Amino acid sequence: MNKIAIYPGSFDPVTYGHLDIIQRAVSLFDYLLVAVVENPTKKPLFCAKERVEMLRDVTSDLKGVEISCFNGLLVDYAKERGVSVIIRGLRAVSDFEHEFQMALMNKRLYPEIDTIFMMARETHLYLSSSIVKEIASLSGRVEDLVPEVVAKRLYQRFNR
How far is Cα 77 from Cα 73, in angstroms, rounded to an integer? 7
Burial class (CB in 10 A: 0-12, 13-18, 19+), 67: buried
User: In the annotation, is 129 catalytic?
Assistant: yes
The alpha carbon dihedral of 76, 81, 83, 87 has a sign of: negative
* Catalytic residue (one of 10, 129, 133, 153): 129
How far is Cα 159 from Cα 157, in angstroms, rounded to an integer? 6
* Catalytic residue (one of 42, 43, 63, 108): 42
* Catalytic residue (one of 24, 79, 81, 91): 91
User: In the annotation, is 42 catalytic?
Assistant: yes
Contact 24, 36 (CB under 8 A): no
* Catalytic residue (one of 10, 18, 51, 88): 18
User: In the annotation, is 24 catalytic?
Assistant: no
User: In the annotation, is 81 catalytic?
Assistant: no
How far is Cα 127 from Cα 42, in angstroms, rounded to an integer? 20
Residues known to be catalytic = 18, 42, 91, 129
